[in-house]
Amino acid sequence: MPDTPTKANVTWLGVIADDYTGASDVAGTLVSAGMRVVQTFGIPDASMQLHDVDCIVISLKTRSVPAAEAVEQSLAAARALKSRGVQQLYFKYCSTFDSTPEGNIGPVADALREEFVPAGMITVVAPGTPALRRTVYNGVLFAGTDLLQESSMRHHPLTPMTDSNVPRLLQAQSSNPVGHIGYGAIEAGVSAVRSELDTLGSQGAGYAVVDTLNDRHLAVLGAALLDHPLVTGGSGLVGGLAATRRFRGQPDPAHAARPSGPAAVVAGSCSEMTNAQIRAFREVYPCFLVDPVAIAEGRDVVAEALMFAKENLPGGPILIHSSASPEEVLKAQTHLGKDRAAEITEGSLSAIAEGLVGLGCRQLIVAGGETSGAVVRRLGITTARVGKEVTPGVPWLKTETDTELSILLKSGNLGDPRLFLHAWDHGRMGPRPMTGMG
């Protein structure tokens, strides 16, 4: 079993996340477990100083790129983490196992296993994250009370999920046999889980999908996996690993820091929850809609959005969004093509985010994984200290750039309908008249 971390031995975990909001999700979970966490956007340069951290989370954009590209980036990230003395690697993907039959979860996990996992050792696959109501039972993934294939994920524009059986989903992507450890073994405790892992390993399996119904199961798995060089999953299991180590780092100033300054939301996610959050926000504060079809037809929607922001930012938070219903998204994709619609939307929203910062915005919520990636790249953010979560999976980040910025990267499905309202400091902000509605 690895040594319990001390101040002299703090970087015990290195996370490779396949998108930016997923990285923030896992980083927030680690902070809640008492860890000092730095999140990087892209692979950190060897000269980058990352002091006084227990965990490093590398944010990649590999969920929807070609599999070979995802493998290359993920291996480079893993090697960068190992070069910094990280003891354990964690490949983090979405708790809804967002992928296609070609990948990229399987190809990336296979490559990491080949380089970092001894022969005969099983790698756990644990998308279950009970705090987000993602659970696995008999290898089947549920989103709340719905089978994954019957949830809103069936309409995802890039990775529609039409199967709920995780071993079957992974086996289609991987060259390694996939096994399963059921609810009974995990209920029985750490020794039973280790015995099941040994048995599957002796049978030639490369992976074990694990049932996960509650936080106690995560704690059992965390204790069983402390000596595993590679673990994979959603943000839930990383909390089990952290809790098992029973380590509390020194308080991080970023945890107590409250965001300040003009505030805005930029939303590109088309999930049901993000649309509900926009509707709740619109009842109180002004909103502006970015239409990719109008942009393609020549309207300078970016300039219009920034004029709207200039008029409204001084009075309180604003929201600029391209989010729409599945039917509206399909209409735009049919008119422009899926790739062109995504390119226009992400380019416009990231340009608007840059303009918002130029107008003095210092608190920024970004909704949607693809949108978050585009915004972070446009703003040139490379590292951030991770603060406390506003809601499970959604922490504020304090960027380490010349312009101090508090940024919150939200996966489309996370939060409750009033998240865009209660994420701010309500002591400073209250309702005010709405102008320039888009």
Q: Tell me: pLDDT of 428 over 60.
A: no
Asked if residue 235 and residue 103 are part of one domain, the reply reads yes
* Highest mean pLDDT (candidates 43-52, 242-251, 279-288): 279-288
Question: Do 157 and 150 meet the contact criterion of CB atoms below 8 Å apart?
Answer: no
Distance CA(140)–CA(136), nearest Å, equals: 5
Question: Do 262 and 49 meet the contact criterion of CB atoms below 8 Å apart?
Answer: no
pTM of the model: 0.82
Q: Could you tell me which residues are beta bridge partners of residue 367?
A: 267, 410
Does 371 fall in a domain? yes
CA distances from 431 to 114, 281, 342, 421, 438 (A): 55, 11, 33, 10, 18
Asked if residue 274 and residue 226 are part of one domain, the reply reads no
* Highest mean pLDDT (candidates 36-40, 182-186, 372-376, 423-427): 182-186
Q: Tell me: pLDDT of 200 over 50.
A: yes
CA distances from 117 to 55, 169, 174, 240, 405 (A): 20, 22, 15, 21, 39
Give the percent of the chain with pLDDT over 70: 90
pLDDT band at 4 (very low <50, low <70, confident <90, very high): very low
Does 237 fall in a domain? yes
Asked if residue 340 and residue 303 are part of one domain, the reply reads yes
Q: What is the pLDDT of residues 269-282, one digit of tens each?
A: 888 899 999 999 99
Asked if residue 369 and residue 293 are part of one domain, the reply reads yes
pLDDT band at 113 (very low <50, low <70, confident <90, very high): very high
Which residue did the predictor score with more confidence, 95 or 328?
A: 95
Does 3 fall in a domain? no
Residue 159's CATH number = 3.40.50.10840
Asked if residue 50 and residue 177 are part of one domain, the reply reads yes
Does 8 fall in a domain? no
Asked if residue 275 and residue 236 are part of one domain, the reply reads no
Q: State residue 125's pLDDT score.
A: 98
Residue 402's CATH number = 3.40.980.20
Asked if residue 145 and residue 22 are part of one domain, the reply reads yes
Q: Tell me: pLDDT of 214 over 80.
A: yes
pLDDT band at 413 (very low <50, low <70, confident <90, very high): confident
**Average pLDDT of the segment spanning 279-301:** 91
Q: What is the pLDDT of residues 379-409, one digit of tens each?
A: 999 999 898 889 888 999 998 767 789 999 9
Q: State residue 257's pLDDT score.
A: 52
Place of tokens 């585009």: 374
Does 429 fall in a domain? no
Asked if residue 265 and residue 234 are part of one domain, the reply reads no
Asked if residue 352 and residue 273 are part of one domain, the reply reads yes
Range of the domain at 311: 259-422
Does 428 fall in a domain? no
Q: What is the pLDDT of residues 330-345, one digit of tens each?
A: 777 787 777 888 888 8
Asked if residue 25 and residue 145 are part of one domain, the reply reads yes
Asked if residue 121 and residue 62 are part of one domain, the reply reads yes
Q: Edge-to-edge, what's the strand order for the sheet holding 140-143?
A: 134-137, 140-143, 146-147
Mean residue pLDDT of the chain comes to 87
Asked if residue 25 and residue 153 are part of one domain, the reply reads yes
**Average pLDDT of the segment spanning 132-139:** 95
Does 268 fall in a domain? yes
When divided into structural domains, the chain yields a total of 2
Distance CA(14)–CA(81), nearest Å, equals: 6
Does 212 fall in a domain? yes
